[in-house]
Amino acid sequence: ATDAELEQAIEEALEAGYRHIDTAHVYENEKVIGKVLNRWLTSGKLNRKDLFLVTKLPPNGLTPQGVPKYLKRSLEYLQVDYVDVYLVHTPFGFKDIDGNLHPHTPEGLIDFDPTTDHVAVWKAMEAQVDAGLAKAIGISNFNIKQISRILENARIPPVNLQIELHAYHQQKELVDFCKKHNIAITAYSPLGSPGLGKFMARFGH
């Protein structure tokens, strides 16, 4: 969507009563969302407590220092003081090269960061709750083994897991595990994702 199309869509959604907005740094739409939200909040049409905002730490930020850097950037773009939930978008990290959300190696492959440490990242996520910048924290695209490691070391456990979930990809074991540990599930692509192959082909997958 163009910025203008997105801006109009958010306006229509808010007018219709939508109050839960799920975004992410890698969606590159936080600035447009923030522009509309600021208009509604400053005009008094909405109070911040009326909204439920979710955004996500990009793969480039999967380091202890990357967590506050990217959350503060998202808050600046969204023009709010806090998000209701901040999610770790992926269990894998990319090299952090400013201005390049999908860094590539000279061979044309995604430039992964092999030093990613989920426990260290999670401690930095907890610090964002302590600072009042996120009301709650969670994860996205993590598996049972990765979630278990976080739970074993967490002071503030994840409240939410966002995963692809639909009739053709039900992930029952993972859903049951999360229910057992009081982790709410949010499904993305609930009707499937037929365009994903074309999207991933852009990045050499």
Query: Are the CB atoms for 188 and 171 separated by under 8 Å?
Result: no
As given in the structure block, the two tokens for residue 70 are 């990217």
Sign of CA dihedral 94, 95, 98, 100: negative
Rounded Cα gap, residues 109 and 43, in angstroms: 46
For residue 86, list its beta bridge partners: 55, 137
Beta strands in 29-175 (DSSP E): 52-57, 83-88, 134-140, 160-164
Given 18, 27, 70, 188, the catalytic residue? 27
Rounded Cα gap, residues 59 and 102, in angstroms: 9
**70 classed as catalytic:** no
Catalytic residue annotation: 27
